Structure 1
Amino acid sequence: MDDFLKVTMNEYLPLRDVVFNTLRQAILKGELKPGERLMEIQLADRLGVSRTPVREAIRKLELEGLVVMIPRKGAEVASITESDLQDVLEVRRALEELAGSKACERITKEELVKLKEASAEFEKIIDSGDLTMIADADMHFHDIIYQATGNARLNQILNNIREQMYRYRMEYLKDYKRHAKLVKEHEKIISALKAGNQEKVRDAIIVHIDNQKKAIEKSLKG
């Protein structure tokens, strides 16, 4: 286990949440590899904590689909499979098509301004090379569209699968050559929303997500 597993204490968070965030980031960034065993004692020693917050963190990671429990072996980092990718992105595409349509009907001028600002911020952040910041900026862009729907239930459902989508988002963003294409895809979504054209919004969202799916599938095949 390498030195990247260091706990950064936060006085506002319980220790179990700090440990959870540390392990989660290590998985999402690929520092803890798919199939790697997560042994409580070793993790607790490395992080300088007791086994209890580690055990609680592993359970929470299992609920998010980032960790799986293997009989007679224990916990290990979940693999990214084409089947899981298909399931997650099918759901995301359907929900984002709906969100795009509703946002097209209800988005305000102020929200359009925020969306343009979020796109510009994303374009600026991609030069940093920090995958976590890039992924968060991408999520912020999409969150503005979700909020513009004015549909609290739809937002709740999207938030429920947010963590599962985040892992695939991170995988896609690891290919830095695709970042410029992402910026253009964001711009097309904004343009369609500004024009109030639901069909173009849906088409732009489908292209955006399908490109992500193709890129990750290519990566999984090596």
Structure 2
Amino acid sequence: MPTPLPHGIHKRSLLRDDVYDSIRNAIIDGIFAPGERLKDPELESWLGVSRTPIREALLRLERAGLVVTTPGRATIVAPLDAQSTRNAQQVVAAMHELAARLAVPALGPNQIAAMVAANAGFSAALDADDVDAALTADDKFHAVMVDASGNAMIPVVLEQAMPVLRRSEYQRFSTDDARHSVTVHAQIIKLASVGDADGAALATRENWLSLDAGQDR
């Protein structure tokens, strides 16, 4: 039989992703505190959507380690756990190291310029104490290498590992310690611009491992 027309598929996919992003961001920002119970009716009222996309989002968040669901009982925001955060940190650092090692030989002037612009935006956001803007600029900086790596598995793994680490990132970018990343970013740019893939990869790895992700807060 002919393939059915995909009525509503794209719209529903976008809604599901929006719901996921909203709940994830509220957990990362601390609006939903560790151990807090997430109730479907309250989430429905807040987001203005039905229960189905909310349950789908909570399942994704459970796989990402941000919520804990007990069948038939409750869904709570996952407690801050040092070991889980360190595990995610190691995976994220390894993926970004690999991305840099693969990407540097393929980088052109436009991509180097994009990294410079992203780091400038990152620095400005920190100066303005705008944590959300700093996270966005940091994402743009590292996305250049990930996109240029040519390895489609890297963003897939990062999507799984990043949410747990994001809470530590959010806390760090609220302190003066984050200024260190501006300097390291500049070093990565310098190494990448001269084609030093190994140097850029190691600097990228150390940048992620320098995040204070190993302490319970």
* TM-score with structure 2 setting the length: 0.81
Deviation at 1:131, TM superposition (A): 2.1
Q: Given the superposition, is the C-alpha separation of residues 23 and 115 from structure 1 closer, same or farther in structure 2, using an over 3 Å criterion?
A: same
Corresponding residue for 1:64?
A: 64
Whether the 8 Å contact between 1:106 and 1:150 is mirrored in structure 2 is no
RMSD of aligned residue pairs (Cα, Å): 2.5
Whether the 8 Å contact between 1:107 and 1:149 is mirrored in structure 2 is no
In the alignment, the residues of structure 2 paired with residue 153 and residue 49 of structure 1 have an alpha-carbon distance, to the nearest angstrom, of 32
Corresponding residue for 1:121?
A: 121
Whether the 8 Å contact between 2:122 and 2:137 is mirrored in structure 1 is yes
Whether the 8 Å contact between 1:171 and 1:216 is mirrored in structure 2 is no
Deviation at 1:48, TM superposition (A): 5.4
Deviation at 1:195, TM superposition (A): 2.1
In the alignment, the residues of structure 2 paired with residue 38 and residue 20 of structure 1 have an alpha-carbon distance, to the nearest angstrom, of 13
Listed as ranges, the gaps of 5+ residues in structure 2 are 1-10
In the alignment, the residues of structure 2 paired with residue 114 and residue 159 of structure 1 have an alpha-carbon distance, to the nearest angstrom, of 22
Corresponding residue for 2:203?
A: 204
Between 148-157 and 104-113, the greater mean CA deviation after superposition: 148-157
Corresponding residue for 1:7?
A: none
**Count of aligned positions:** 206
Whether the 8 Å contact between 1:28 and 1:170 is mirrored in structure 2 is yes
Q: Given the superposition, is the C-alpha separation of residues 184 and 54 from structure 1 closer, same or farther in structure 2, using an over 3 Å criterion?
A: same
1:25-45 deviation line (CA, Å, top 9, x unaligned):
211101111111112234334
Corresponding residue for 2:85?
A: 85
Q: Which has the higher contact order (CA 8 A, sep 6+)?
A: 2
Look up the equivalent residue of 1:183 and give its one-letter code.
V
Residue correspondence of structure 1 range 144-183 to structure 2 within 5 A: 144-174=144-174, 176-183=175-182
In the alignment, the residues of structure 2 paired with residue 135 and residue 145 of structure 1 have an alpha-carbon distance, to the nearest angstrom, of 16
In the alignment, the residues of structure 2 paired with residue 48 and residue 156 of structure 1 have an alpha-carbon distance, to the nearest angstrom, of 29
Deviation at 1:160, TM superposition (A): 4.5
1:131-162 deviation line (CA, Å, top 9, x unaligned):
22211111110000112223334344434444
Moved segments of 4+, more than 6 Å? none
Look up the equivalent residue of 1:217 and give its one-letter code.
G
Deviation at 1:184, TM superposition (A): 0.5
In the alignment, the residues of structure 2 paired with residue 151 and residue 138 of structure 1 have an alpha-carbon distance, to the nearest angstrom, of 20
Listed as ranges, the gaps of 5+ residues in structure 1 are 1-11
In the alignment, the residues of structure 1 paired with residue 164 and residue 21 of structure 2 have an alpha-carbon distance, to the nearest angstrom, of 15
Whether the 8 Å contact between 1:19 and 1:53 is mirrored in structure 2 is yes
Residue correspondence of structure 1 range 9-48 to structure 2 within 5 A: 16-47=16-47
* TM-score with structure 1 setting the length: 0.79
Q: SS of the counterpart of 2:37?
A: coil
Deviation at 1:115, TM superposition (A): 1.0
Corresponding residue for 2:213?
A: 216
Corresponding residue for 2:55?
A: 55
In the alignment, the residues of structure 2 paired with residue 66 and residue 217 of structure 1 have an alpha-carbon distance, to the nearest angstrom, of 16
Q: Given the superposition, is the C-alpha separation of residues 16 and 192 from structure 1 closer, same or farther in structure 2, using an over 3 Å criterion?
A: closer
Whether the 8 Å contact between 2:92 and 2:162 is mirrored in structure 1 is no
Q: SS of the counterpart of 2:69?
A: strand
Look up the equivalent residue of 2:60 and give its one-letter code.
K
Between 155-164 and 18-27, the greater mean CA deviation after superposition: 155-164
In the alignment, the residues of structure 2 paired with residue 147 and residue 138 of structure 1 have an alpha-carbon distance, to the nearest angstrom, of 14
1:176-211 deviation line (CA, Å, top 9, x unaligned):
211211110111111111122233213312321121
